[in-house]
Each structure stands twice: as structure tokens, then as C-alpha cells.
Amino acid sequence: MEKYDYSLMAPGPVNLHPEVRKILSEPMIHHRTPEFDHILAQTLKKMKSVFQTEEPVYLLTSTGSGGMEVLLVNTLSPGDQVLCLVSGKFGERWSQMAKTFGLIVDEIQIPWGQAANIDEVKTHLQKKSYAAVLTQACETSSAVLHPIQKLGELIQQFPKTLLLVDGITALGALPLPMDAWHIDGLVGGSQKAFMLPTGMSFVCFSKKAQGYFETSKIPKFYFDIRKEKKANESGETFFSSNVTLIKALNFVLDEILKKGLSQLFQENQRRSDFTFYLMSLLHLNSFSHSPSSSLTAIEMPAGIDGQKIRSDLEKDFNITIMGGQDQAKGKIIRIGHMGYIQDKELLQLAEGLYEVLTKHRCVFKIDKKTYLEKLKIWLEKN
Ligand SMILES: *Cc1c(COP(=O)(O)O)cnc(C)c1O
């Protein structure tokens, strides 16, 4: 068997661009230098294009969850009622986080694999006054994409309610224009669609959300965005800057903007389409009824343990994907489409899946040679 180069095709962290790997190994520079000031200014400006916003974007040295916290603690106060859409692991996390800060949380429980129902959200909003609605754009545990544009249109009709969106596996991977869709708080993460190592999150607030900075009473110090806003306005970060990752981010943003957002989104969509084609050849089904183009969750055939498929793919093929979490553990595998992925790696993944599933006694009508031929032709055509 051919020895494959290692490939990280999880829904975050993801494969790094070769140039990013080089930047990460450059000598450290100090953050209070003209050289870094220039990089920071450029990066902050370019980030606005990715968020598709006129408002300032903030760079945080924290993982994505820290960014989720920033959205809550800068706009809300203990005792505020919030409506949390819980459609998987990350919805559960945000709900718990909100409770930790003294928010009164009503949950809309959405079965794993399903997207939010706008009418149900509307009914809740008409019954009670909520300070915020919390939702994932893409719920990574089930690969579900939620109807954010529609939620934005709905929530816009409630002048006191904020739409706070965890876009960690969506922003930079698929269309999520902050201003046009009336999103009030949006967070992205470095190790997902931004193709960087773990360790940074990115947040932005609408004008409406910024209006709550002064009245929000949740205690905060490190995550008080007012300090960062002031520092950014004078060309600095408030705390020590994450120089290394910001340098790499600056490069990634250049690549993204050179390519254009629509082309970038199209590349993720193509990898998603490829995966769906592969599934159709093997008669495998999507777990998500509203699939996100940033990752695909494949249902395992009866009797097949997804955890074993995942670990054998890693052991035998040097490719890392993810299994399911909690109630989906063993039942699904999840393949990420974000990051630096070449066609060669898509074919390796396809071959690996065929082999590993066969090893676990899956029987396919299509033989491996025909299957790989069809996939190669698909890649050439699409
Ligand atoms: C990965 C992820 C997170 C958490 O990010 P961390 O960087 O691990 O804190 C939150 N929400 C979603 C939807 C994610 O995919």
C-alpha cells in the first residue's frame, strides 16, 4: 500500500497552508514595533471583508469558546432572558455558558441532524421578550447548517433582541455576511475556516450590539471588549499580541481576498459535493438533513462502529477525520472540508474509506477500481 502523507481532515483543526507553516517558524518579533503595527492594521482591515461588515473586528487570543463568551459578557446582564437553539454539542455548550453568567435560558431543543424551524423561534419571540437569541451557524456535532439569514430577518423585527451567532465552522467557509443578514454578534475560530493553528478567535458586534457595551453588567476583565476597542483604535492590542498567529492570519487573509470569498466558499462546496458523490457511489447517507458545506457527517451502516472506522483510517491511511460525539458516537463519521486540502487528498480519503469500511465487512456493489475511476473523473469535471 502506498504510504500517504499525513492529512488532517477533521472539522477543525485543519491542514495548514505550507506558507503558514513557514511563517510560524520565523523568529519572534515584539508586538510594540512598527513592523508589527503595520501587520496588525492590515489584518484588522482585511478581517472586515471576511465578516462582510463595516464594524470593527476584534482578534482574541483564546479558542473559539472564548469568543462565544465575549459575545455574551459584553452585551448581556445577569437576569436577562435568552433563547438558545440547541441542536448538538456546541448549542449545549453555549446554553451552559449563558447559565454560568446568570442568564435565564430558554432552550429550543432541535433533534440532532435537523435545522432550526423559523416559525418555532418566532412563536417563542412573540411570547416573551428576549435579550438575545443564541445559535450556531453550523452545528459541528451534526453538520447542520441553520437558516441564519431567515433568523436575522425575523429577529430584526424585535428591536431589543440580539442575534448572537457561533460561526466557528461557517465564517470563512460559507456565506455568512454579518451586516446584510442582520447578525448582531459573530464569532469565528482560527483552527477551523481560517486555516490556522488553534489559539485565536475573531468577534464582531453590530451597531445595535455595541449599544449594550456600557449597560452590560456581566463581570469581565480580560474579555472586556471596550479595552480592546480603545487599543485597536490607537493601532495596538490591549494585551500582548498573538504576533505569530496574527502574522499567519495576515497571510491567509491575503490568500482569501486574492481568491475572493465566493471562490473560497465554492472550494468548500466542491469538497462537500465530492463527499456526497462518494457517498452516493457507496450508498451511504448524510446524517444532517440540512448539510453544511464546511463538513459532512456520514451515517454508518448498521453494525459498523464509526469510532473504529475513524481510528483505522488514521492508523492505516494516515488521515484524521472525526467520529460522532455523545448520542451520535459510533453512529457517524465527520469529514471536514475546511483548510488546505488538495484533490490528491480527497482521493486518498475516498480510497481509505472504501478499504477501511470493507475491512469492517461492508459490502459495496461497486468495485474499488470503478469507484476510484468515477471519483477521478468527477474531480476533473468539477
Ligand atoms: C470548534 C467549535 C467550537 C469551539 O471551539 P474551541 O476553539 O474548541 O473553543 C465552538 N463552536 C463550534 C460550532 C465549533 O465547531
pLDDT tens for each residue of the chain, 382 residues long? 556 789 999 999 999 999 999 999 999 999 999 999 999 999 999 999 999 999 999 999 999 999 999 999 999 999 999 999 999 999 999 999 999 999 999 999 999 999 999 999 999 999 999 999 999 999 999 999 999 999 999 999 999 999 999 999 999 999 999 999 999 999 999 999 999 999 999 999 999 999 999 999 999 999 999 999 999 999 999 999 999 999 999 999 999 999 999 999 999 999 999 999 999 999 999 999 999 999 999 999 999 999 999 999 999 999 999 999 999 999 999 999 999 999 999 999 999 999 999 999 999 999 999 999 999 999 999 9
Q: What is the pLDDT of residue 269?
A: 98
Edge-to-edge strands, sheet with 81-86: 57-60, 201-205, 185-189, 162-166, 132-136, 81-86, 104-109
| CA-nearest residue, atom 14 of ligand 1 | 168
* Pocket of ligand 1 contains residue 65 by CB under 6 Å: yes
Ligand 1, atom nearest to 198 Cα: 7
* Pocket of ligand 1 contains residue 75 by CB under 6 Å: no
The rounded distance, in Å, linking the Cα atoms of 201 and 206 is 17
* Pocket of ligand 1 contains residue 268 by CB under 6 Å: no
The rounded distance, in Å, linking the Cα atoms of 88 and 91 is 5
* Pocket of ligand 1 contains residue 67 by CB under 6 Å: no
4's enclosing H/E stretch is none
- With residues binned 3-state (H G I as helix, E B as strand, rest as coil), the percentages for the chain, rounded to 5, are 45, 15, 40
- Could you tell me whether strands 132-136 and 295-299 are parallel, antiparallel, or unpaired per DSSP bridges? unpaired
Report how far ligand 1's centroid is from the alpha carbon of 192 (Å).
Answer: 8
Query: Are the C-beta atoms of 87 and 116 separated by less than 8 Å?
Result: yes
Report how far ligand 1's centroid is from the alpha carbon of 323 (Å).
Answer: 15
Query: Which bin fits 21, alpha (ψ -120 to 50), beta or left (φ > 0)?
Result: alpha
Ligand 1, atom nearest to 65 Cα: 9
Residue 252, CA distances (Å) to 109, 245, 255 in order = 36, 10, 5
Which cell numbers hold the place of 314?
A: 488514521
Length of the chain equals: 382
Report how far ligand 1's centroid is from the alpha carbon of 107 (Å).
Answer: 19
Report how far ligand 1's centroid is from the alpha carbon of 360 (Å).
Answer: 31
Whole-structure pTM value: 0.98
Query: Are the C-beta atoms of 218 and 64 separated by less than 8 Å?
Result: no
| Ligand 1 mutation pick, 168, 288, 322, max ligand atoms within 8 A of CB | 168
The rounded distance, in Å, linking the Cα atoms of 14 and 38 is 28
Q: What is the pLDDT of residue 2?
A: 58
